Amino acid sequence: MATSTLQTKRRAIVQGEAGSKTIRNVPIPSISPSEILVKTIAVAINPTDHKMPDSFPSLGAIVGCDYSGIVVKVGSETSGLRVGDRVAGAVHGSNPIHHEDGAFAEYIKTSADLVYHVPGIFSWEDAAAIGGTGHGSLCLAFWGALDLPGRPEAPSTKPEYVLVYGGSTATGTMALQLLRLSGLVPIAVCSPHNFELAKSYDIRQFSKNTLFYALDCITDATSASICFAAIGRAGGRYASLEYCPSHLQIRRAIHPDFVLGYEMFGKPVALTGPYKREPAPEKRKAAVEWYKTFTSLCEERRIKAHPVRNVEGVLEGVLEGINMLKNEGVSGYKLVVRMHAE
């Protein structure tokens, strides 16, 4: 589709002063030969969408990560995608270097090899809820930080246990699906108050003191202590999706790793402290291969979306949803906002 057939401006949620968020008209970005331009049909709201502006404010950066939409322009070096294709994935929202990268906009640009094809059986809302932040981070956690023995395309012949703390979160429910598809046995911990296996003794008893792998989707003092205590006597690996301070890493026999999903894009993560990362081309390569596998899993109907709750109001609805997630808490479903009709 020629550039002249597209409008030149788009509405987007942009960071203002001190991490505030406002709706503005900004230019539709140009794309590189390896990128595509997507008309955004739906977006999903994640905790990072309020945490990034609060913790790492960047004036002018567009907010948002997970989206679904229709390809309206393809770069000259892309393959396997055409104008009109249904796609979904994630971008690095609130990016302090590339302000135009966020998903909460009427049009977004993204790398052509970091999207999954949305099958017709998925609604736009489900496709956005799946997005790319969760399963992309899990790719880096499962087959990078934890180095699990099985994958969906090559399941393990030995059903190893894997603890998933935060099993009822959107990332947690995706983790449970991917672990089962990989021939592994997930132990889901949803709350230490209402799930008996949350007690480290019970987890050890259930796994016969052999638990080696733990994924922490929450990462606080409670979750870290349970994960570290649950891993068996011989030690193991612990992957957190948020920074876990060293004083919470209570056993030397356990190798901890903080997985930052933004590394899947292969670019510098220009944040501070433990969130700062240099480019990791090997992680981008792993993510590109993963998206191919994930597309196949979706087409084969082997992936289900987390339950969604629709929020009305387009970008104004996104702002409302961000405030809901930050101030009220959301449990058991993903907030999704429709941006365009098809």
Q: For the segment 70-91, what is each residue's pLDDT rounded down to a tens digit?
A: 999 999 999 999 999 999 999 9
- Cβ atoms 195, 165 nearer than 8 A: no
CA distance 21 to 58: 11
Please give the pLDDT value at position 194.
38
Please give the pLDDT value at position 1.
42
Please give the pLDDT value at position 319.
98
Backbone angles phi, psi at 59, to 5 degrees: -55, 125
Please give the pLDDT value at position 202.
66
* Residue 290: its H or E element: helix 281-299
Interval 192-221 mean pLDDT: 74
pLDDT-derived band at 5, boundaries 50, 70, 90: low
Predicted confidence (pLDDT) at residue 178 exceeds the cutoff of 50? yes
Q: What single-letter DSSP state applies at residue 252?
A: T
Residues near 322 by beta carbon (within 8 Å), at least 6 away in sequence = 21, 45, 49, 50, 63
Residue count of the chain, please give it: 342
CATH 3.90.180.10 domain residues, the chain:
10-131+306-338
Interval 175-187 mean pLDDT: 97
- Cβ atoms 276, 270 nearer than 8 A: yes
- Cβ atoms 336, 310 nearer than 8 A: yes
Predicted confidence (pLDDT) at residue 179 exceeds the cutoff of 50? yes
Catalogue the E-assigned strands of the chain: 9-15, 21-27, 35-44, 66-74, 86-90, 107-111, 115-117, 161-165, 185-189, 213-216, 236-240, 254-258, 308-311, 334-338
Pick the more confident residue, 309 or 329: 309
Q: What single-letter DSSP state applies at residue 328?
A: I
CATH 3.40.50.720 domain residues, the chain:
146-258
Please give the pLDDT value at position 129.
98
Task: Please report, for residues 41, 134, 195, the alpha-carbon distance to residue 260 in angstroms, rounded to integers and kept in the order given.
Answer: 26, 11, 28
Q: What share of the chain is helix, strand, coil (3-state, %, to 5)?
A: 35, 25, 40
Predicted confidence (pLDDT) at residue 192 exceeds the cutoff of 60? no
- Cβ atoms 54, 19 nearer than 8 A: yes
Interval 137-156 mean pLDDT: 98
Backbone angles phi, psi at 23, to 5 degrees: -95, 130
* Residue 65: its H or E element: none
DSSP 3-state of 11: strand
pLDDT-derived band at 7, boundaries 50, 70, 90: confident
Task: List Cβ<8 Å contacts ≥24 apart for 208-212.
Answer: 209/233, 210/161, 210/234, 211/161, 211/163, 211/187, 211/236, 212/160, 212/161, 212/236, 212/237
Whole-number percent of the chain with pLDDT over 90: 89
pLDDT-derived band at 55, boundaries 50, 70, 90: very high
In one-letter notation, the amino acid at residue 135 is: H
Q: What single-letter DSSP state applies at residue 115?
A: E
How many CA atoms lie within 13 Å of 120's alpha carbon, on the beta-carbon side? 1
Predicted confidence (pLDDT) at residue 159 exceeds the cutoff of 70? yes
Count Cβ neighbours within 10 Å for each residue of 198-223 and write b for 16 or more, e otherwise.
bebeebbebbeeebbbbbbbbbeeeb
Query: Would you say domain 146-258 falls under CATH 3.40.50.150?
Result: no
DSSP 3-state of 169: coil
Residue 331 burial by Cβ neighbours in a 10 Å radius (0-12, 13-18, 19+): exposed
CATH topology of domain 10-131+306-338: Quinone Oxidoreductase; Chain A, domain 1 (3.90.180)
- Cβ atoms 172, 164 nearer than 8 A: yes
In one-letter notation, the amino acid at residue 134 is: G
Q: Which of 130-134, 196-200, 336-340 has the lowest mean pLDDT?
A: 196-200
Residue 178 burial by Cβ neighbours in a 10 Å radius (0-12, 13-18, 19+): buried
